[in-house]
Structure 1
Amino acid sequence: MRIGIIGAGALGGMFAALFARAGHDVEATARGAGLAAIREGGIRLSGGYGSTHAIIAANETLTVRPDLVLLCTKAQDGEAALAANADVIDGVPVVVVQNGLEGVDTAARLLPRSTCYGLLSIVAANYTEPGVVRVTATAQSYLGRGDGEPDAECTRLAAVLSDAIPVIAIPGFRGAQWTKLTVNMLNAVPAIVGQSVQEVIADRGLRRVVTASMRECVRVGIARGVRFGTLQGLDDRMLRRLARSPLRVAQAVPRRLAARMGDVPNLGSTQQSLRRGQPTEIDFLNGAVVREASLARVDAPVNAALVALVHEVERGGYLPRERVLAVLGG
């Protein structure tokens, strides 16, 4: 099968290398130093899915019509990347591998002849050097769209994607997106203070801020009528209990998530963007909570404050933990 990967960063580079290893014909898009590195030396993958060195075609946009497309850019780059490749990929099945809530709808709007699905990946992958990806934690990934049962095409694509990593087709994808969004509340605080997720969760004060952002995310989802999907050991019952719990009790959830990451320091995707000198996707993570809260006519002050702090870090570098603790008033 000919597979196009739009955005050969951490997850995109991982998928490109693993699909090439499985014998598929892969073309990936990249820019700048990443594109130059892939053209010169391919993609070197190590970690949880083993080591491989994949030599693949790489260009700024896809040059040959693929049989399947994976959109793996950061959420803020997705619309522009799809528009740049639309002439080649409209009518081709598209799998959106992005954080946030909006990617599948954006793809369907820009590619009216394509069938578009979302993939929720909990795989942790570091991409801090062009052309080099290290998988620090493996996990099942979840394919779907909307609120209904997976259709036959979704099931077929899950089998194809499983040539790279384990993927299952799931019902109630929108609810699972909200659960993933809650998990992604682990990103902002590490990015602000320049520490790993594990270090942040080990810090009592910072852990309280992370917990508050997760609890607020779930409360907004409930206000929007969401039934949360099962993901990363979390489910609708557990998250609704999180929404009702005081912070001292609710902290068990981020502790559990950090423990699942193991001992290898997890920087989170937001901090990885900062270390590469790139804009983060914070407006599609904590910022998505703020937008959804506005639609539900409720407030999301914790997440609004974290969005502002991450943008401050983008402009001037890491901030002291006291700035984060001030989110909760001291």
Structure 2
Amino acid sequence: MKICVLGAGALGCSIGGVLTEAGQDVWLINRSRAHVDAMNASGLRMLDAGVERRVTVKAALDSSDVGIVDLIIVLVKSYDTAAAIASAAPMIGEHTQVLSLQNGLGHEDILVAAVGAHRVLAGKTYVGGVMTGPGRITIGTRGKQTIIGELDGSVSERVSAIAAVFNRAGLETTVSPNILGTIWDKLLINVATGALAGITGLGYGDLYSVDEIADCATAAVAEAMAVARANSVELSLTEPRQAWDMAGAGLPAGFKTSMLQSLEKGSKTEIDFINGAVVRWGERCGVATPVNSTLVACIKGIERRLAV
């Protein structure tokens, strides 16, 4: 299968790297010239459970030299979705499928508007990754589930084929007939740790050592679960603490959330698509979300400070 990872940062390279190792024809697209040049010159260096391995990959700054692909995996930042899929037009042929594995809510609507509902698949992944330098990442794929599905809840041949490709690469992947619930399940994970890690600046080892942080995280998740239920979303998680425990399971003490990584680079975060989405959905259904509103305000303040 010819695959393009659109937004090959830490997570995209983790997924694209193991798919390449499994024999798939993968292109990694990233806007950083230093990162792309390093991968093309020396391969992608992946640190996995303390062991580094080097994978020969194909990387590019844009889609101009890639050609038509079978699958585009969208992993750009939420606020870049519309621009990224527009730039991917040269890769889209008659049978090209587009799979969003992004964090948060709302990306599928943007993709449907751009390429049509018949192409778009949705999914969430619990795979992790940390960029340690141009062409270098620490990956967290072992025991981390990826769930994908059709927007209409059907279990189609095409989505089953993608799941099979992922599984052969060691990416534990299942097909869900309740993809909206899956999206919300992953949102709960991001709600648990993303903003709190960004605000405190802590990696997982320290983050999970503070009881008060755990209490705040579970309170934020409890609000999100109440909002989901008020909107008739079927969740697989039943207790807020589950999201907190799942977020840190199997990841090293030094692991940093994507929100913290963004702030450390002085970049905009995806807060509007994570805790901010909980607040917006809560407003629509009349469920109060004071904890998530506070976390959003804190992250917005940090973004403002970094922008000065």
- Same fold, TM exceeding 0.5? yes
Q: Does 1:130 align with 2:119?
A: no
CA distance in 2, matches of 1:49, 1:75: 31
Whether 1:303 aligns to 2:292 is yes
- Alignment match, 1:146: 151
Task: Tell me: CA distance 1:308–1:121, structure 2 relative to 1, closer, same or farther (3 Å).
Answer: same
In the other structure, the counterpart of 1:104 is 108
1-structure distance, mates of 2:91, 2:117: 12
Q: Which residue number corresponds to residue 279 of structure 2?
A: 290
Which of 226, 235, 253 is the equivalent residue of 2:233?
226
- Show the 5 A alignment for 1:66-81: 66-81=69-84
Aligned counterpart, 1:246: none
TM (norm. structure 2) is 0.89
Change beyond 3 A, Cα 1:79–1:173: same
Partner of residue 38, structure 2: 37
Name 1:20's counterpart in structure 2. Answer: 20
Shift of 1:74: 1.7
Q: 1:89 and 2:96 equivalent? A: no
- Structure 1 residue 147: Cα displacement: 5.8
- 1:156 aligned residue (161, 166, 176): 161
The answer to whether the 8 Å contact 1:207/1:254 transfers is no
The answer to whether the 8 Å contact 2:150/2:156 transfers is: no
Q: Is the contact made by 1:43 and 1:53 (CA closer than 8 Å) also made in structure 2?
A: yes
After superposing the two structures, state which structure 1 stretch, 85-94 or 257-266, moved more: 257-266
Moved more, 160-169 or 5-14: 160-169
Give 1:295 shift.
2.0
Contact 1:90 1:112 in 2 (8 A): no
Deviation (angstroms), 1:159: 0.7
Bigger mean CA deviation after superposition, 41-50 or 1-10: 41-50
Q: CA deviation at 1:90?
A: 5.3
Give the superposition deviation at 1:44.
1.1
Q: Any idea what SS the aligned residue of 2:297 has? A: helix
Which consecutive residues of structure 1, in runs of 5 or more, have no partner in the other structure? 243-251, 318-330
Aligned to 2:3: 3
Measure, in 2, the Cα distance between the counterparts of 1:201 and 1:53: 31
SS in 2 for 1:101: coil
Per-residue CA deviations over 1:146-188 (Å, capped at 9, x if unaligned) read 3624222211111122233121111211011111111111111
Equivalent of 1:201 in 197, 200, 208? 208
Is the 8 Å Cα contact of residues 201 and 207 (structure 1) preserved in structure 2? Answer: yes
Q: Describe the shift of the 1:262–1:302 C-alpha distance in structure 2 as closer, same or farther (beyond 3 A).
A: same
Residues 257-276 of structure 1: per-residue CA shift (max 9 Å, x gap): 36623553321111112223
Q: Could you say which residue in structure 1 is the equivalent of 2:125?
A: 121
Count of residue pairs the alignment pairs up: 299
Shift of 1:127: 1.4
Larger strand proportion of the pair = 2
Question: 1:52 and 1:87, CA in 2 relative to 1: closer, same or farther beyond 3 A?
Answer: same
Q: CA deviation at 1:23?
A: 1.7
Shift of 1:118: 1.8
Q: Which moved more, 1:219-228 or 1:90-99?
A: 90-99
Q: TM-score, normalised by structure 1?
A: 0.83
Letter in 1 for 2:294: A
Q: 1:166 aligns with which of 169, 172, 175?
A: 172
Moved more, 139-148 or 121-130: 139-148
1:176 and 2:182 correspond: yes
- Separation (CA, whole Å) in 2 of partners of 1:196 and 1:155: 35
Distance change in 2, residues 1:119/1:254 (3 Å): closer
- Output the aligned Cα RMSD: 2.2
The structure 1 residue matched to 2:268, chosen from 279, 283, 286, is: 279
Structure 2 distance, partners of 1:57, 1:276, is: 25
Query: In the aligned structure 1, how far is the partner of 2:146 from the partner of 2:50?
Result: 14
Per-residue deviation, 1:41: 2.5
Larger deviation, residues 36-45 vs 92-101: 36-45
Distance 1:209 1:147, change over 3 A: farther
- SS class of match (2:68): coil
Which secondary structure does the structure 2 equivalent of 1:202 belong to? coil
Letter of the 2:261 partner, please give it: Q
Deviation sequence 1:241-297 (CA, Å, 0-9, x none): x4xxxxxxxxx4455336623553321111112223322111111111112112213
Does the residue aligned with 2:88 lie in a helix, a strand or coil?
Answer: helix
1:37 and 1:131 in contact (8 A); partners too: yes
Q: Distance in 2 between matches of 1:259 and 1:4?
A: 28
